[in-house]
Amino acid sequence: AWKRESTAREEERAREEAIEKEKARRSAINKQRIINFRKGVEHWVEYQEMAAFLGVVKEAFEKTDRKNADTKKWIQWAENYLSNYSVISEDMIRYDVEEYRAEKTNSWQKPAPPPEEPYNYWKRPWYQRGVHR
């Protein structure tokens, strides 16, 4: 009878430990999701600010009588940078945190290929259309 009680206690303790481990695992995953979400928001806000700034520069460039070749090159460069930046932000959005941890890569830091020429507005993600073009 004593062995049955100790075995039952051990099983109960093992179940409680498993429950605690699962709670800790879920808590860690939720914390990582919150971190990823906040990073995504930071990238989105930064993208919006850069796109707005580029829009102001483009508008001023189009209105001026003296067109500067360097400014035109910079605008093209900035447009390419923003198209890559949006891809970077999109790569950060993940729900499966365990998969994210297993990869151990910073995929959002990999440079995206330059946009195809000529530029096709409709190939842009829906949330970028009309932002600064």
Structure tokens belonging to residue 16: 């409680």
Q: What is the pLDDT of residues 24-77, one digit of tens each?
A: 988 888 888 888 888 888 888 888 899 999 999 999 999 988 888 899 999 999
Chain mean position to CA 80? 18
Q: What is the mean pLDDT of residues 90-101?
A: 62
Q: What is the pLDDT of residues 47-57, one digit of tens each?
A: 889 999 999 99
Question: At 111, is the pLDDT very low, low, confident or very high (cuts 50, 70, 90)?
Answer: low
Q: What is the mean pLDDT of residues 105-116?
A: 56
- What length is written for the chain? 133
